[in-house]
Amino acid sequence: MIMNIENKYQDFLGEFNKYLERINKKATLIAVSKTKPIDNIVSLCRLGHCDFGENYAQEFRDKIKDERFSSFNIRWHFIGNIQRNKLKYIVGKSSLIHTVDSYDKAEMINDFSIKVDSVQPILLQVNISKDPKKGGVSAEEVNNLFPKLMMLKNIKINGLMTITQYSEDPENCRNDYKEMKNLSLILESKYGGSLELSMGMSNDYKVALDEGATMVRVGTKIFGERRK
Ligand SMILES: *Cc1c(COP(=O)(O)O)cnc(C)c1O
């Protein structure tokens, strides 16, 4: 049988929902559509999917303004590297920016949000596995940084995000995800509210859900392999 995008999505969604039911949890599935054509995204919109993740600011800018999306209510998540000269493409336009990994970037976003008169929801990215190739603040820094970010009035910190070190065996990520959950519990007890935890991708989303992810970011398992 040829697996078109609708079949692939529905297969995955079935697997995802079954797993959530089994562990008795809820989470948002973000379909990571970077490098994938708009037609594929529209197909999922027609099936009722609302949350999409994009990594590249220009691609983000071009995709979100496409008129094929005008009849859908999409939540666009920005999950890529943030650059000052491309802030204008994402701030005030993204439902949630997942990749704020320094005070400077938070301040940049806050300043831009003031200019466009919006409040930008963000997540603080944590480099929980201390991977030199990944962005994010250290677990130790989070406790210092969090209250400072709370002072910036035109951003809203919805929670934490992490990209763990890739491993063939997703069990190797379990401890990192546990640590993320602990971090968020500590912050919740200090500052109140409940925090989102954006963690887990195609390879390890089940482990992330076990450990308390409230959002998982899944690309390959929904859209197939990417070329770049
Ligand atoms: C590409 C990407 C994903 C999706 O990865 P898959 O392995 O294809 O599911 C998730 N999160 C981030 C930050 C990404 O860049």
Give 83-139 pLDDT, tens digit per residue: 999 999 999 999 999 999 999 999 999 999 999 999 999 999 999 999 988 899 999
Q: Is the CB of 79 under 6 A from ligand 1?
A: yes
Supply angle C-alpha 45, 31, 195, rounded to 5. 115
pLDDT above 70 for 2: no
Looking at ligand 1, which residue's alpha carbon is closest to its atom 12? Answer: 79
Average pLDDT over residues 8-26: 98
pLDDT above 90 for 228: no
Looking at ligand 1, which residue's alpha carbon is closest to its atom 5? Answer: 219
Q: Which atom, in ligand 1's list, is nearest to the CA of 226?
A: 8
Task: Give the per-residue pLDDT at 8.
Answer: 96
Question: Crossing angle of helices 5-23/38-46, nearest 10°?
Answer: 50
Compute the distance between CA of residue 190 and CA of residue 213 in angstroms, rounded to an integer: 20
Torsion of the alpha carbons at 165, 168, 169 and 171, rounded to the nearest 10:
20
Tens-place pLDDT, residues 140-162 = 999 999 999 999 999 999 999 99
Q: Is the CB of 217 under 6 A from ligand 1?
A: yes
Q: How many other C-beta atoms are found inside a 10 Å radius of the C-beta of residue 102?
A: 16
Helix (H) / strand (E) element for 51: namely strand 51-54
Question: Which of 18, 25, 43 has the alpha carbon at shortest distance from 222?
Answer: 43
Q: Is the CB of 81 under 6 A from ligand 1?
A: no
Q: Is the CB of 31 under 6 A from ligand 1?
A: no
Q: Which domains does the chain have, with CATH numbers?
A: 2-223 (3.20.20.10)
Tens-place pLDDT, residues 195-217 = 999 999 999 999 999 999 999 99
Compute the distance between CA of residue 29 and CA of residue 12 in angstroms, rounded to an integer: 10
pLDDT-derived band at 74, boundaries 50, 70, 90: very high
Q: From ligand 1's centre to the CA of 201, what distance in Å?
A: 6
